[in-house]
Structures are given as C-alpha cells and as structure tokens.
Amino acid sequence: MNLLIVISGLLLIALCILHIVFGEKNYFNTKEKRSIADYVPYHQISVVMFLEGAGMIYSGFNFNLQLSVFILLLILASLTTFAVICIKENESGVIKTSIPQFILFGIVILLIVLGISQEMTF
C-alpha cells in the first residue's frame, strides 16, 4: 500500500465535498442564482474530483502508474484552465479567494508526485 497516494485520494474526495458545499452555499443558494449553464458544469467538476480521489485510493492499494499520472494531469489541467480563464477575464479577486484551494491542490499534487516516486524506487 502506498500511503501517500491513498492520502491524496482521500484529500481529493474531501475537496469534492467542500466544492459541492461551498458552491451550494455561496453560488447557487437561490433558484434565481442558478443558471443551468453554470450549475451543471460546476457539479460535473465535483464528480470528476470524486472519481480522481477514488482512482487515487485504488492506485494506492494496487499501484498503477498510468492511472496516477493521468489523474495528476487532469488536476494540473483543471487548475491551469481555471487560472488562465480568471486571468483572461481579469478576475484577480477570484484567484485571491481561491488561494486556499490552490494550496490544498498543491498538497495533493505533492503527495501524488512523492507517491509515484516512492513506487518507482522500489
């Protein structure tokens, strides 16, 4: 078992739950604020985070390099897309309020990289 990979998966699932709760509380708390064009993709990202977490937990017990790298690339692509769109749209305030999430995802990325390197040294 690769504990670093398992912890990254658990953290991804926790981030998924926080994403859902935060979105419902702060962005979609009234029917008037819910645009289906925003609401559905927001929660699709939550589902992707859950699946990434489940995949990392699975990989922690049955290490799979391709799966771990694929999930790492998905996380990096999602964060990069978010940051680029915020910069393009001059939404620096959104980036500032998202710093805690960037830190948590940074920890996830570090855990995945360390977990992969741990497997590669055996």
> pLDDT digits over 16-30, tens only?
999 999 888 877 887
How much is the pTM? 0.89
CA 79, CA 62: separation in Å to the nearest integer? Answer: 27
Supply the pLDDT for residue 38: 82
Cα gap 17→39, rounded to integer Å: 15
pLDDT digits (tens, 9 = 90+) for 33-85: 778 888 888 899 999 999 999 999 999 999 999 999 999 999 999 999 999 99
Degrees (nearest 5) of the Cα angle 80, 82, 88? 95
Helix axes 3-26, 99-120, angle to 10 degrees: 160
Give CA torsion, residues 49, 120, 64, 83, to 10 deg.
20
Distance CA 52, CA 68 (A): 9
